[in-house]
Structure 1
């Protein structure tokens, strides 16, 4: 059983807690928050009023009631919190995007190794069974001709921007924007399925706060291109597709795949390949991380961890390049 703590009182924290508890591999022992009022409100809403609340950061670092911490604070706080926890010999699960820069990922992974603990990026969709089904289909497919992935969802917090405010997800102060919030699912999918592209370009629509509200990403591979469409100031219902010279793999989404249909050119017919997804969105992710934390010397577990770590670094590196291409600079980088 993994005794764990949570930093953050957002909706995603609640989803992780529900999913982790349902695996019977995790036991929530502490909630860290700078605000007792917010923490109490969150615990009441999640029906977890029995969980102790900690507001003192130094006391939290030295707390031996947990070995692992799930970090779901604003993006710009991830790195500072992660380093302190790793040095305190805590395993950490950092909600995506893990950090703004590749250099920070390299540093954190090095510190984790030195302290004998694990660091995971919570890119939940890569652990889902249907994501793996697509990867297997591609492994058995003929030459890839290209792909188009789409994930755009209008955020109600954009209404605040239009009213002159700067909510965390739409500000350079807290390392926000559409690319790192929704586009990261598309980037992760492309890199996991096709590898690192030779070139990448981001044609972003920047909003008044300095971050990207929406945009189009072009990833160039040796023999094909991948187009990624993302946004938080528009609403899209487009599916996603992968093209080979004999098939089209049609996905209802890449961030949470529930439908996989393969159209076959020669027979003009479709085959269905999706498996049933768990009811809880982060269940597969929580189970995957537990398989490593609970078996720290198992070779297969360590091989999975090494793959996830390398993938996290590759994705962060690519997203950093895309931000630079679009001229999106966070406050900490100025």
Structure 2
């Protein structure tokens, strides 16, 4: 796999580290609107080409896959350009701003026999797969609690009157899509689509959610998903059943330190995981592409679409409006 990246944030650095650690993949080009930033990143990870024009990069026939880690609102545009240039696409979470955007990307990918993936580390982690194997031991489920709170490095600037992308409705920002998306993926990969979802956000003056609580209703049990970009907390996940509870002593994205508690007995379920969480998702994508396993890719797309559908409906019902909502696809 010959990869090019779009974006120069910290998550792109994590992805490039995952590239270095996986076999069968090489990053050969970096795109950045800033040549200086692109060159600095390329030098750090020994990447040979830097492009400031995305069209020129997509004409590079050596590239077969594009990793998109741009601001959220630009995911659709860059992914569509890459697909139309006959490149496979790995797109950072949240996949797109709306289901209409994702539906169009899926249509194009299938028509061109290309692979399209959402980069969401949670569901690829070894400990998450261990949780899937043991969840039935809890008996009838009653409650799921997920808290992923992280004081944003850009929040002080936002309070000072600046408008960083992650707190800007025009760029599809906010806590629901940035952090709570991990809690939603954690819950929905285990239990499927809820019967109902309702979001209770803390909304800033510009209309963006800086934190909030999403409740996923499964009838006989509920999942309470908390995410904050305006405050800190001890992150954890707890799944409660009538036989006991499962506890994760970390945010839902990484699923570190998993323990099962049945009656008065505690069983540690964790395995050692690579601290670069993107290592696992990239490894899975490489296997799927090499095997030309379109069926698995399409199953993953359907699942990602279900997640985005829940997020979009909950966001709109809470009164959070993105610029992308008025876009005609």
Q: Secondary structure of the equivalent of 1:17?
A: helix
Task: Answer yes or no: is 1:318 the counterpart of 2:316.
Answer: no
Per-residue CA distance 1:45-98 (angstroms, 9 max, x = gap): x343x5211122322222101100000011111101111111111000001001
Residue 10 of structure 1 and its aligned partner are, at CA, apart by 0.6
Correspondence for 2:94:
97
Per-residue CA distance 1:117-138 (angstroms, 9 max, x = gap): 0100000121011011111112
Contact 1:112 1:118 in 2 (8 A): yes
Distance in 2, Cα, partners of 1:333 & 1:306: 25
Residue 139 of structure 1 and its aligned partner are, at CA, apart by 4.2
RMSD: 1.3
Contact 1:120 1:308 in 2 (8 A): yes
Q: Which runs of 4+ in 1 moved over 6 A?
A: none
Name whichever of 153-162 and 34-43 sits farther off.
34-43
Contact 1:177 1:212 in 2 (8 A): yes
TM-score, structure 1 as length reference: 0.94
Residue 322 of structure 1 and its aligned partner are, at CA, apart by 1.3
Correspondence for 2:15:
16
Correspondence for 2:207:
210
Residues 71 and 225 of structure 1: CA distance in aligned 2, closer, same or farther (over 3 Å) = same
Contact 1:166 1:209 in 2 (8 A): no
Within 5 Å, which residues of 2 pair with 1:187-226? Answer: 187-226=184-223
Per-residue CA distance 1:98-122 (angstroms, 9 max, x = gap): 1011121111111101001010000
Distance in 1, Cα, partners of 2:300 & 2:13: 24
Within 5 Å, which residues of 2 pair with 1:133-144? Answer: 133-144=130-141
Distance in 2, Cα, partners of 1:169 & 1:245: 39
Q: Secondary structure of the equivalent of 1:173?
A: helix
Correspondence for 2:253:
255
Distance in 1, Cα, partners of 2:79 & 2:235: 36
Name whichever of 273-282 and 137-146 sits farther off.
137-146
Task: Answer yes or no: is 1:290 the counterpart of 2:286.
Answer: yes
Q: Secondary structure of the equivalent of 1:323?
A: helix
Contact 2:138 2:262 in 1 (8 A): no
Q: Secondary structure of the equivalent of 1:203?
A: strand
Distance in 2, Cα, partners of 1:129 & 1:181: 22
Correspondence for 1:308:
300
Q: Secondary structure of the equivalent of 2:314?
A: helix
Count of aligned residue pairs for this structure pair? 325
The runs of 5 or more residues in structure 2 that have no matched partner are: none
Q: Secondary structure of the equivalent of 1:202?
A: strand
